[in-house]
Amino acid sequence: MTTFKNTPYDQIEVGMEAKHERICAVDDFYISAHASGNLNPLHLPKEDRDGEDSGNYEGVAPSLWVASLISAVLGNQLPGPGTLYKSQNLRFLGRAYEGDRLISTVTVTEKLPDYVVKLATTVQCANGQMIVEGEAEVIAPRTSKVSKGVKLPGLTVRSHEHFDRLLDLARPLPPLITAVVVPEDRKSLGGALLAAENTLIEPILIGSKANILDAADRLGKDLAHCEIIDVAGHKQAAAKAVAMVREGKAQAIMKGQLHTDILLSQIVKRDKGLRTDSRLSHVFVMDVPGLDNLLFITDAAINIAPDLEAKVDIVQNAIYLAQALGLQQPKVGILSAVETVNTKIPSTMDAAILSKMAERGQIKGGIVDGPLAMDNAIDVDAAVTKGITSLVAGRAEVLVVPNMESGNMLAKELAFVAHAEVCGVVMGAQCPVILTSRADDDKARLMSCAVALLYAASQKA
C-alpha cells in the first residue's frame, strides 16, 4: 500500500515543489458527472457534444475535475496528510481530453501566520500546454505524519453500449406490428407504449378494454392512436393474438399481464397455434458490464429439463438469434459443472454429443464446444489454466445451460449482482414472442422489442 509523508509547517520553505501525473480516462468523466450532477454532453464522450447529429463524440474533461487534481498534490505530498484548504482561485486556460497526460504542480510562494501557506498551482498537459493555473491557501499540518493511505472501495462504471448499439440498429427499421396480450397493468402497457414511441413496434392491444384504459389513465397516456381489441379472458386474448399472426395481421406477440403458460399453450397448439419444426425455447440477451460482447443464455424460461433432442433445437435457436444481432459465427459453450465428460453427470454427455453434432453439420452457423464450466467458458485465463484448447473456451458468446433452474439462476445473478441489462425473446415459433417478466423494467421491455424487430428483419432478409 502507498504511504504518504507530510511536510509540517515549520519545515516548509518557499520554493518547495511537488507534482502528480494522471491520465485522463473516460470513466473519470462519468464519475464526475455522477458526483457533481453536471450532465453537460460536452463532458460525456458517448453523447453528441455539438448537437444536430454532428457525430462529434470526443469528451472534454470537466474543468473542475481537472482542477481537483491539484488537491491530490496538496493532500498527499505538499504539505501532505493533515492539510486543509483555506482558499483556491483558478484560471482555465485550455481544455483536456480523453487520453491526455496531465501534470498537476504546487509550488510554495509564501508562509503566513497561523500555519497558513500560499502555493502557486497549475495543471498542464505533458506537451506543456497550460490547462489551469491559480493560487491556493492551505492550513499546513503542525506535526510530521506518515499515512499508509486508505484502501478505497473499487468503482465500476456501468455502461451498456451493446444494447445502445442494438437500439441504434433497430430504430430505423419499419416497426413490428405486435399483438400485445393483456396489457392491463402499468408495466406491460407502459413497456409496449415506450417501444411504440421508439418506433420499434406498432402495438395492437388485446384484453379487457376497460382495464387497458384504466392502466393508461394511471400512466397518463392517451391511447387514441392505438387499436384496442376488447377480449374478456386471458386465454381468449392469447388465442386472438395467435389468430392475428396466422392471418397476417400481426408480426409478433408480446406478453402482458397474464401467465406465461396460458400464452404458450395457445402458441403450441397443433392446429391453430404457431408451431414450426423447431421446439420453442427462450433466449436471454444480456449486456454485462465489462464484457466485450453480448451474452446469450438459453434456455432459462421454457424447457424445464430438456433432453438431448430438445437441446439441439435450443442451441440452434440461440445461434439464429445471435446471428440476427450481428454475430456471424457465434461461439456456443455448453455448460456443465465440469469441463470433462463424466458418465455420472448427464449434462457433460449431452454437451459432448452437441459439440460433435455441430462438427458434423447437424447444428449450423455456430462454433459449439462443451462440456465447459462457467469459469472456463467465459474467462480465457481459466481456460488456459485448465489446459483447454478450444475456439470457444474463454470466449463463449452463447451459454447453453443444463436445465431451466440453472439458467434462471445464472441470468438473475448477472442481472441483480453483476448489474447486467437483460432482455429476451422466445424462438422457434412462426413469429418472435416477446416474453417479459413482471420484474422487468422499461429498458428490458424496450430491448426485448428491439431484439424481436432485428430478428424479424433478419428473417425477411
Query: Which residue in the block uniquely carries the three cell numbers 520554493?
Result: 15
Three-class HEC string of 431-453: CCEECCCCCCCHHHHHHHHHHHH
Give the contacts of 60 (CB within 8 A, at least 6 positions apart): 42, 43, 49, 95, 96, 97
Low-confidence ranges of the chain (pLDDT < 70): 1, 46-58, 156-159
Interatomic CA distance for residues 31 and 159, integer angstroms: 12
Interatomic CA distance for residues 260 and 268, integer angstroms: 12
Q: What's the pLDDT score for residue 327?
A: 94
Alpha-carbon radius of gyration of the chain: 29
Give the contacts of 25 (CB within 8 A, at least 6 positions apart): 98
pLDDT tens-digit readout, 191-200? 999 999 999 9
Q: Which CATH number among 3.40.50.2000, 3.40.190.10, 3.10.129.10, 3.40.50.300 corresponds to the domain 4-147? A: 3.10.129.10
Domain positions in the chain: 4-147, 161-460
pLDDT tens-digit readout, 301-347? 999 999 999 999 999 999 999 999 999 999 999 999 999 999 999 99
Q: Is the fold of 4-147 the same as that of 161-460?
A: no
Query: Which residue in the block uniquely carries the three cell numbers 516548509?
Result: 12
Question: Per the CATH hierarchy, to which homologous superfamily does domain 161-460 belong?
Answer: Isopropylmalate Dehydrogenase (3.40.718.10)
Is the pTM higher than 0.85?
no
Q: What's the pLDDT score for residue 58?
A: 64
Element (H, E) at 368: strand 367-372
